Structure 1
Amino acid sequence: MHEEEKKTKSTVPYDEDNYTHNIRKDNERKLDRRSFLKTMVGAAGVFAVSTLPWGTIAAKHLINPSKRTYPVSKIADLDLMKVGDAVEFAYPGEHDSALLVCLSDNEFKAYHNACTHLKCPVFWSKEKEELVCPCHHGLFDVRTGKPTAGPPKRPLPEIELSVEKGSVYATGVKKYEAQL
């Protein structure tokens, strides 16, 4: 009897020829390594294909930057602007905030008012006669848009202006030229 007990304890209770009798085999591997890699390669392919339209648009702007056209937009009337005043406006799109500053009777400068450091809003300080970014104490020269203090390294994007029929108009955005 002792011999029979040893035999029953050491034998597989089911009639199977492998040692995995205690594992449930239904849906054992829904996603094995090979399936996982196929899924990842497929996802990478979808991602790569989905970025192609944006790459095409960027390439067009890099190849032919002069062909980009901007709308002409009225900013302010001359009779309402005094020397040292600033007017906030949207240009070239409705979500692109910009700032027009009256420097003298017929001299105006306009810049996008998002700091080139971390896109914080830039404000006009009439007392200091400079553009100020309060986030990290960035300062910009109002005549050139170049940073004079703080962490910004690039100048503010300048908006091209024209004065016609008693009003100031935005006509374009100057292309940024990196200086080496």
Structure 2
Amino acid sequence: MEQDNKRDNNHSPFNEDNYTHNIRKNNERKLDRRSFMKTLVGAAGVFAVSTLPWGALAAKELTGLKKKPYQPLKIADIRSLRVGDAVEFAYPGEHDSTLLIRLGENEYKAYQNACTHLKCPVFWSKEQSEMVCPCHHGIFDARTGAPTAGPPRRPLPEVLLKEDQGAIYAIGVKRYEA
């Protein structure tokens, strides 16, 4: 009698050969753990393979293997620009603000004037002969574009210039070298 009252935990309380009593046998375990993991790994693989072309383009851009064609752009006539003056222009695109500075009689420098810290605009200070970012007091050397004070750590991107027939032309953007 005592053995009849004992519960037998090794048997199902229902007379079924299913995993659980509420799953229909025909549709049982359509997506079990193994199938789910296979689907997950397959989806991750498809995602990884689909990003390869973009990674290749980024690597090509960062290593400089792809040379960008830049259109020459006339910035200013030399006669209209005195030593110590600066001219703002857009290069290489219409939304890329750039600053040309005449440092000496035959010395010109141009930099994209977005601070390398947080992209605030950089201004030419003729009195101090330096480029200043007012957001966090960043200062850049006008001859090299390198930061001399403040939080910026990278130099400003330099725009390549050409002097031709009494005018200054922008002809490209110098690649950043670490």
TM-score by length of 2: 0.72
Confirm whether residue 106 of structure 1 aligns to residue 118 of structure 2.
no
Q: What amino acid is the match of 2:158? A: E
Flag structure 1 segments of 5+ consecutive residues without an equivalent. 1-15, 26-30
Alignment of 1:158-177 (within 5 A): 158-177=158-177
Number of the residue aligned with 1:145? 145
Number of the residue aligned with 1:72? 72
Number of the residue aligned with 2:97? 97
Confirm whether residue 82 of structure 1 aligns to residue 85 of structure 2.
no
What RMSD, in angstroms, separates the aligned Cα atoms of the two structures? 3.2
Flag structure 2 segments of 5+ consecutive residues without an equivalent. 1-15, 25-30
Q: Which runs of 4+ in 1 moved over 3 A?
A: 31-47
CA distance in 2, matches of 1:177, 1:149: 20
Number of the residue aligned with 1:7? none
Q: CA deviation at 1:83?
A: 2.0
Number of the residue aligned with 1:127? 127
Q: What amino acid is the match of 2:60? A: K
Number of the residue aligned with 1:51? 51
Q: What amino acid is the match of 1:114? A: A
Provide the secondary structure at the position in 1 that maps to 2:156: coil
- Number of equivalences: 165
Q: What amino acid is the match of 2:65? A: N
Q: CA deviation at 1:60?
A: 2.8
1:133-168 alpha-carbon deviations (Å, 9 max, x no partner): 111111000011111100111111111101111211
Provide the secondary structure at the position in 2 that maps to 1:51: helix
Q: CA deviation at 1:41?
A: 4.2
Q: CA deviation at 1:58?
A: 2.5
Q: Which deviates further from its counterpart, 90-99 or 162-171?
A: 90-99
CA distance in 2, matches of 1:122, 1:68: 25
Query: CA 1:63 to 1:138, structure 2 compared with 1: closer, same or farther past 3 Å?
Result: closer
Provide the secondary structure at the position in 2 that maps to 1:111: strand
CA distance in 1, matches of 2:112, 2:146: 12
1:108-144 alpha-carbon deviations (Å, 9 max, x no partner): 1101111111222211111211111111111000011
Identity of aligned residues (%): 71
